Amino acid sequence: MTTRSIEATGAAGAAAPRIDGRLKVTGQARYAADEMRPNTAHAVFLTSAIAKGRIATMDLAAARALPGVLAIFTHENMGGLVREPTFFGAGGTASTVQRPLSGPEIQHEGQIIAMIVADTLEAARDASFRIAVAYEEQKPTATLDSEGIDVRAAKEIKKTHEDPKAGDFAKGIAAAQSRVDGEYRTPIQHHNAIELFSTTCEWSGDELTIYEPSQFVYGLRAGMAEQLGIDPQRIHVINPYVGGAFGSKGSVTPRTALVAIAARQLKRPVKLVVTRDQGFTVTTYRAETRHKVTLGARQDGKLTAYSHDGWELTSRIDDYMVAGTEGATRLYAAPNIATHVSVVRADRNTPGFMRSPPEVPYVYALETAMDELAVALNMDPIELRRVNDAKKDPITGMRFTSRSLMECFDAAAKSFGWSEHDRRPGAHRDGDWLIGWGCASTLYPAQMSPAAARVRFDHTGKARIEIAAHDVGTGAYTVIGQMAAERLGTDLKNISVEMGDSTLPAGPVAGGSITTASACNAVAAACDAIRRKLFAAAVKSEKSPLSGQKPATLDLVAGRVVGASGAGQGLDKVFEKLGAGVVEEYAEWIPHEATPAGMQKTYQGGVSIVGGPMKDRTAYAFGAELLEVRINTYTREIRVPRIVGAFAGGRIINPRTAHSQLMGGMIWGISSALHEETELDLGAARYINDNLADYLVPVNADIGEVEVIFVPEEDKLVNPLGIKGIGELANVGTAAAISNAVYHATGTRVRKLPIRIEDLL
């Protein structure tokens, strides 16, 4: 018997290069906007210049007169054509209930007010500049403390919401020997994936094909069926590659129905590529938040009480909220916990998911407050976390499926060289540079959803995997292929993976970091059905060393079915006995505590994610981030020369792609701490820096050493394969760690993000 190492085969566990890497770097991977159907017409949006009021008149004459202009859609000729979408928060798929071009009312700056379709992009764009719009303008409400906000308790607008609590906060805080109170702020952020938002629609009779970057092709199909009032079976969504999403391409935005209707009316394919600046308002973003955190502790550091009040911005018309107290309250063993989330309505477009939507703002606030507590107690911040490490879920009392937070701190501290150091602010310097160390915990719920997959395996050892999952740049194609390579005992190079197409078996939404766990468990289930068929045939082969053996003792290794002794039979012989050339199996995987209807719901474009706190267990991935900042004494320039993150995410299927996810997460965390903020014109409720020149993101020169450590973790409870998602784990703790290091370097506690030079002057 010949066996080859996991690295040689590329099976699960190998640091395999991406199977789609070559296609991507050679430009052969076709992204949605690369599709150019014959006779395509081009659409361009005109968006509102005001945030609140109504359109009085629109003069289209000059635009219509331009050669090549085919149609101009406004509320006057489009009203009522798009049916009311169901908000994803209410079980639908839509990012907003706004019906585009349905009337003259303006609900936010940058709202779609016209769509021009022309033979060429140039003509459509030119026409968009020639539409004269007169508005009746009202004074808008811009943000959290603007005049005219409408503040509601989360519970009031979402019946299923519960503010996590434990024990008796008032008693706990009264018993505290040390107490900190902090108010923290996080900014507006926009995703700014390099791939712009685009939609191309083509009708063939009453069949609609949609090319659009999507984190959920089944959701997009269902959403379009709803908004167009047609049978979902007549809609085909094709989207094999996504050039970055981060949550922005997970729900259905108002643009798609407009393009579909235009294509139907013009009887031509219509393509729309939303411009960078329009992307800030016709899709979603991370909303600004406020936090009040109180921590009480005994002199030995043990928490006696934790309270966390959060305020989050949303639009007038939708109930988007992140309510991140659910995650934050799972970090520490505080016996008395009180939380409260409020949602604040203003005249803005509806926010939405952005990488670790709840944890990023809430854990930032908590982890900064924890550092303030460590300072108040004159205690090492890692020790403070150690004495408060939760052994069970602080809210429900349930066990964690696994929890390796302190193992992460130990591994990161060792590599970083964290040891007793002078914790007084400003104590460490190197020439003109003040040096600060900071740390923070990170966590993200281990989540999953029902998923289906089809696997086709042939007698030469080649396999084809079909699943409507999505690779948003994470490496999902590769990881899913690796899982099949492991189960089928074949090489990754023998496996092809088909994804991102609504005709494939329903896979998970690429959100909530659920893809690897959900898709791999489904693919493994299909592979296991194939194994059972082959093993049953193999033991019936008379002239085979496997004859009469128990099927359950067999394995598939390197193109052979083998028994415990190592003796076996080639696949061709086993297939011969089976009387088949190919075995194909379809399997559905339903995670623990998913509703029985969850799979059906996924096929209907619904999302049924389980994980995090469950009825009988609590599943989270954890990590620790330690870093150094250097701040120039004179200019107050802030640099992050090194960051070490140690993470425990259950079984790691591909250390290479996982490393990229975690490294990228920490880089985004640095960006959150020091660079990113969408600036708001408070008078106009308008985004100012809506372009890649003014919206700051880090470049190579901003990033120093980034070290990623995998802390081994075997989790037998989270799902059969022990996989936890890691896509949204690493960007959670970073901003607090930087903020804490800035305090250590300077003695200035900045309680908002991003931290700018001017905050340290």
- Footprint of ligand MOS on this chain (CB under 6 A)? 215, 246-247, 250, 353-355, 357, 511-512, 728
Measure CA 612 to chain center: 15
Provide φ and ψ at 630, rounded to 5°: -125, 130
Output 329 or 474, the one with its CB closest to ligand MOS: 474
Measure CA 275 to chain center: 22
Among 283, 296, 282, 207, residue whose Cα is nearest residue 245 = 283
With H, G, I as helix, E, B as strand and everything else as coil, classify residue 736.
helix
Q: How far is the CB of 507 from ligand MOS (least distance, A)?
A: 14
Instruction: Please report the sign of the dihedral spanned by the C-alpha atoms of residue 256, residue 157, residue 146, residue 693.
Output: negative
Q: How far is the CB of 448 from ligand MOS (least distance, A)?
A: 13
Output 75 or 470, the one with its CB closest to ligand MOS: 470
C-beta of residue 613 within 8 angstroms of C-beta of residue 395: yes
Output 172 or 500, the one with its CB closest to ligand MOS: 500
Q: Rounded CA gap, 661 and 246, in Å?
A: 12
Q: How far is the CB of 284 from ligand MOS (least distance, A)?
A: 10
Output 107 or 474, the one with its CB closest to ligand MOS: 474
| Residue type at position 60 | L
Q: Rounded CA gap, 204 and 355, in Å?
A: 37
Give 33-92 as a DSSP string. Answer: GG---TT-EEEEEEE-S-SSEEEEEEE-HHHHTSTTEEEEE-HHHHTTSSPPPPBGGGTS
Determine whether 147 is an active site residue.
no
Output 353 or 409, the one with its CB closest to ligand MOS: 353
C-beta of residue 670 within 8 angstroms of C-beta of residue 698: yes
Provide φ and ψ at 496, rounded to 5°: -115, 145
Output 366 or 609, the one with its CB closest to ligand MOS: 609
Q: How far is the CB of 25 from ligand MOS (least distance, A)?
A: 25
Only one residue has tokens 């999505």, namely 470
Q: How far is the CB of 353 from ligand MOS (least distance, A)?
A: 4
Catalytic, out of 195, 207, 728, 758:
728
C-beta of residue 611 within 8 angstroms of C-beta of residue 229: no
Closest residue to ligand MOS using C-beta atoms: 247
DSSP class of residue 180? E
Q: How far is the CB of 247 from ligand MOS (least distance, A)?
A: 3
Output 191 or 255, the one with its CB closest to ligand MOS: 191
C-beta of residue 350 within 8 angstroms of C-beta of residue 95: yes
Output 447 or 521, the one with its CB closest to ligand MOS: 447
Q: How far is the CB of 322 from ligand MOS (least distance, A)?
A: 10
C-beta of residue 384 within 8 angstroms of C-beta of residue 377: yes
515-538 vs 571-578: helix crossing angle, rounded to 10: 70
Q: How far is the CB of 356 from ligand MOS (least distance, A)?
A: 7
Q: What are the distances in angstroms from CA 229 to CA 96, 99, 333, 445, 668?
A: 17, 14, 50, 36, 40
Active site residues: 728
